[in-house]
Structure 1
Amino acid sequence: MKNLTKAFAVIALTSASFATFAATEVNSAPTGAQSIGVVSAATNSGDLGTLQGKLAAKAAQEGASSYRIVSAGGENHLYGTAEIYK
């Protein structure tokens, strides 16, 4: 039981710290935000959620506070680009 409690605590702390640094997806350019570039990602799975997660991670890695997916395509091999904002 103690190990289970520790596992939940680790998961909670890990997800809380990730949320602090994660970039937020937006549908349009945020008011007052400056575009700082473009990131791209690809995935071998046909899952759009995986592609979205990779784009979000790359945006956060570049120091963006938000990102907007501008293109996505493919069938079994998905690829996409996102404009990033700070």
Structure 2
Amino acid sequence: MAIIAGAFVSSLSFAQTISATDSTLDSAEAKIAEQAAEQGLNYRITSAQYKNQVHITAELSQ
């Protein structure tokens, strides 16, 4: 049981948040995708905001 709990905790603590800012949604997401690819990870966009530029936040996962 302790091994299973340890594996579960380590997968929960892995989540890393990244962000990118650019002039368009596509270019900001491309920056997120590039950061994820450099680490060999997947990403899930968690927020996107637009004022004068687009700011995206994403969570990386395996």
TM over 0.5: yes
* Partner secondary structure for residue 47 of structure 2: strand
Aligned length: 50
* Partner secondary structure for residue 63 of structure 1: coil
Q: 2:51 aligns with which of 64, 75, 78?
A: 75
Within 2, Cα distance between the matches of 1:63 and 1:39? Answer: 14
Within 2, Cα distance between the matches of 1:81 and 1:61? Answer: 17
Within 1, Cα distance between the matches of 2:51 and 2:25? Answer: 10
Q: Percent identity?
A: 36
Deviation, structure 1 residue 63: 2.9
What per-residue deviation string (whole Å, max 9, x for no partner) do you get for residues 21-70 of structure 1?
A: xxxxxxxxxxxxx4531111111x1x211111011011112331x11000
Mark the runs of 5 or more structure 1 residues left unpaired by the alignment.
Answer: 1-33
Report the RMSD for the aligned CA atoms in angstroms.
1.5
Q: Which has the higher strand share?
A: 2
TM-score by length of 2: 0.67
In structure 2, the residue matched to 1:3 is: none
Structure of larger gyration radius = 1
Q: 2:40 aligns with which of 56, 63, 70?
A: 63
Within 1, Cα distance between the matches of 2:40 and 2:15? Answer: 9
